[in-house]
Amino acid sequence: MTECWLVTGGAGFIGSNLVDHLLRRGHQVVVLDDFSTGSPDNLPGGDDISVLRADVTSTESLDVAMATVSGVFHCAATVGVQDCIDDWFGAHATNATATIRLFETAQRKGNLPVVYASSAAVYGNRSGEVCHEDLPLDPVSPYGADKLACENHARAFWQVHRLPTAGLRIFNVYGPRQTVASSYSGVLAQFGQNWQAGRPNVVFGDGLQSRDFVYVSDVVAGMAAAMDRLRRTPRCFVSNICTGRSVSILDLLALFEGAAGRPAPGPTEFRPARPGEIRSSCGATARMAELLGLYRTVPLEDGLRAYLNSLEPRATVEAPLVQALE
């Protein structure tokens, strides 16, 4: 059955990949995006997609966007750690306050189910530990603190209003349409751009910091599965989206060389570590498998090859009609 879904931040990296997935499944999609980081070029045209240029912090825009949808995928956010530090209150308005407004609007519209992007940043610096969902949470950045606030308010909305929500603690996601402007696993986007341009790579810190890199198709599959589960059994839950494998930045460079089939473009430049960044990150996959049915994820080597292939020039596609909301 054809249904209509709202995707906030739908012109961005994760959001646009999710939009493609929903359209392939035969659904209709409403995209709400202010295009501060997303691009209309990431979206197809066609009768099954409506694109609203609007600020996710606006209750009026959320009212319009949710008028005819069956549920909400909330991807809009300010994700850069440094961006959140530089504009703490502005980032909080987008990441936390706007999410509360979105929950409130979804509740008023009849308790529409909401799948929202949380983050592994809620765990804080868990070097040497595998992050499972029952760990005490200890964010070390304003971004992580805001995502934890979203989870707490989601639980409160469930207790007070029975609003169904799923918060997905996404680890370091990468894949097609990721750019250096995207702070989701920006190191991979930067490596890709440097390989294309023949520039040396830059590593912040000693390169031994490690991350759990998850391909964007696995994130999209997790979001769709979370919505399916909320539709079957309304509840409030959180789950990791990860691979269970942590890879250092130096090892990632070696894997990138293998996927690219040529050496890195010049010697790696090392710069001081950035404040608020986590030393090591690795996620547990048990709850993801149990709740979302995701038992296998794309191997990093395969994902890197697919990502590099996506950087090759492609034919242009029909652009969507963007409607501006005042």
Place of tokens 């992007």: 117
Residue 317 has pLDDT above 60, yes or no: no
Give whole-number Cα distances, 111 to 15, 60, 66, 150, 291, in Å: 22, 17, 11, 17, 21
- Reported confidence tier of residue 312, pLDDT bands at 50, 70, 90: confident
State the catalytic residues: 143
d(CA 275, CA 25): 42
From 83-92, 119-128, 213-222, the region with the lowest mean pLDDT: 119-128
Q: How far is CA 209 from the centre of its chain?
A: 21
Residue 229 has pLDDT above 90, yes or no: yes
Mean pLDDT of the chain: 91
pTM for the whole thing? 0.92
Q: Which residues contact 13 (CB under 8 A, 6 or more apart)?
A: 38, 42, 173, 175, 177, 178, 179, 182, 184, 216
Residue 184 has pLDDT above 50, yes or no: no
What is the pLDDT, as a whole number, of residue 193?
82
H helix or E strand, kind and range, residue 304: helix 300-310
Go through 23-51 and write b for each residue having 16 or more CB atoms within 10 A of its CB, e for each that does not: beeebbbbbbbbeebbbbebbeeeeebbb
- Asked if residue 126 lies in contact with residue 135, where contact means CB atoms within 8 angstroms, the answer is yes
> How much is the average pLDDT of 5-16?
97
More confident residue, 319 or 225: 225
From 53-57, 294-298, 311-315, the region with the lowest mean pLDDT: 311-315
Domains of the chain: 4-172+213-244+284-296+315-324 (3.40.50.720)
- Asked if residue 303 lies in contact with residue 175, where contact means CB atoms within 8 angstroms, the answer is yes
Residue 228 has pLDDT above 60, yes or no: yes
Per-residue pLDDT tens digits for 240-261: 999 999 999 999 999 988 888 8
Residue 134 has pLDDT above 70, yes or no: yes
Question: What's the maximum distance between 2 C-alpha atoms anywhere in the chain?
Answer: 57
CA nearest to 59, candidates 19, 4, 109:
109
What is the pLDDT, as a whole number, of residue 128?
77
CA nearest to 50, candidates 37, 36, 66:
66
